[in-house]
Amino acid sequence: MNKHTRMNGRDRRGPGLASSIEKHGVRGAAPEAGRRPPVEMNEIVEAGVIGLGHEGEGVGRYEGYTLFIPGALPGERVKARVSEVKKQFGRADLIQVLEESSDRVAPPCAIYEQCGGCQLQHLAYPAQLAWKRKMVVDALERIGKLRVGDGGGAIVHPAIGMNEPWRYRNKAQVPIGFDLGEGGLVGGFYALGSHDIADMDTCLIQHERNDETVAAVKRIARELGVEAYDEKSHTGWLRHVVAKYAFASGEVMVVLVVTESSCAVFEELIERICAEVPGVASICMNVNPERSRAVFGERTVTLWGKDSIVDSIGGIRFAISARSFYQVNPAQTEVLYRTALEYAALTGGETVIDAYCGIGTISLFLAGKARRVYGVEIVPDAVEDARANARLNGIANVEFAVGRAEAVIPAWREEGIDADVIVVDPPRKGCDAALLDTIVAMRPKRVVYVSCNPSTLARDLRVLEDGGFRTVEVQPVDMFPHTAHVEVIVRLERKDTAQ
């Protein structure tokens, strides 16, 4: 089996594949009306690859029919085995690359073929950046119906990448399981398209300290006979090991996600983690007794050391607790937030509202240039972290509230708080429709939109454009090298004030 062969029969299934044909411009992909697809299950075909789908899979064409082929690259001709057949598209497993793209490289990760964590290690990094920009442009044009480019259209800048796009992640979240073939307790990442755990001790996009921490906890747990969680039978104790590393301070946090609050070797386990994990400053436990694939449960306690570790971005310190949301790539986060500050164009007299403020990362960046910043977040623990982070940095011109942005912001407006700038950084599903209506009604001078999903971003920009705003410029930032994800930051201005 050569380096271009995938024979494991699994794929990277993701949400929304049925819409991928339209999203990625594969037009005319469906067979003629009444015609059956020209392929059958398990048939081996030769296909030309014309693009990449939103999960990083190759978009192949065979007799006018679209096949999504993980591992294939644009410009290649490949041999693939059909694994799924639908009316408008199918899926296939890559068998062999017959004509190779000049952008293909050998993935350096030893388990890249088995692990589902990365999707693009086989694509040269400059080509990854070019594709991510193209993905953003395609979404804006096809979903948002926006003009892109010269002549009054939105400017989409080249994606900002990393000089060293490896070892960038500050958090590892590793599922634990039991495998007789591996000698008992294992921990790694889920294999492609499954919940089978591929045991591993090294991940090339994780910081080395996270690798060392997880490997040490796994070794200690094995030696003490800790019972790993079995998802199928809902038995066992240790479900996940979460390691967090603060790049600025060097502090390490270990979070043990467990089914109940104690086990037979509980005290010895904690003592050995304290003694054998370098730099550990905090050990926490999260109890998740539910028969669920959700990682965390509701209750978290500190077992040893501090409740949080401290990192800094751009001179602002952040306390990171066990459940805090904190961007996983601190180097690129500074690039992202400095761009947000630039797009906000603050002069010192503005009132800013930060919707989806999380633990206050963007809010605190903006506070140094604004008259006052108001942040709103639906997660109470995150708001407490945001307030603590403001105190940690001695920042007094910020105020945080718990609640839904679409409910809190109108209430603020009734109190006489009118925003000059509104910043939104929503989850992948995008902004709530009611929040978009609120933004349109408030008519701030500028909107800064931070997004991790180009498709929902484009949908929301269409609403804001129809509501009186103009998309001025768009900056993709590669927060997640070697994966199919991209972060995007957008500057919008009210049309009656835009230059």
Contacts of 108 (CB under 8 A, 6+ apart): 121, 204
Question: What are the residue ranges of helices labelled H in 115-238?
Answer: 125-142, 208-224
- CA neighbours closer than 13 Å in the CB half-sphere of residue 41: 4
Contacts of 32 (CB under 8 A, 6+ apart): none
Total residue length of the chain: 499
First and final CA of the chain: distance in angstroms?
A: 58
Q: Is residue 452 annotated as a catalytic residue, yes or no? A: yes
Contact 238, 185 (CB under 8 A): yes
Question: Six-digit token pair at 402?
Answer: 């718990």
> For 60, which DSSP code?
E
Cα dist from 495 to 448, 459, 460, 466, 499, whole Å: 15, 19, 16, 10, 8
Can you point out the beta strands (E) in 13-143?
Answer: 44-52, 58-62, 65-69, 77-85, 89-99
- Bridge pairing between strands 184-190 and 197-199: antiparallel
Long-range contacts of 102-110 (CB under 8 A, 24+ apart): 102/75, 103/73, 103/74, 103/75, 103/127, 104/4, 104/73, 104/76, 106/3, 108/204, 109/203, 109/204, 110/202
From CA 381, how far away is CA 298, in angstroms rounded?
A: 11
Cα dist from 488 to 71, 347, 371, 430, 479, whole Å: 25, 24, 26, 12, 9
From CA 488, how far away is CA 155, in angstroms rounded?
A: 13
Cα dist from 232 to 129, 172, 321, 440, whole Å: 39, 23, 30, 48
From CA 35, how far away is CA 45, in angstroms rounded?
A: 19
> Which of the residues 109, 263, 357, 452 is marked catalytic?
452
From CA 82, how far away is CA 289, in angstroms rounded?
A: 40
Question: Six-digit token pair at 463?
Answer: 């609403």
From CA 353, how far away is CA 420, in angstroms rounded?
A: 8
> For 349, which DSSP code?
-
Contacts of 373 (CB under 8 A, 6+ apart): 351, 352, 353, 354, 363, 366, 367, 397, 398, 399
From CA 296, how far away is CA 239, in angstroms rounded?
A: 9
CA 267 to chain centre: 35
- Bridge pairing between strands 238-245 and 171-179: antiparallel
Residues involved in catalysis:
452
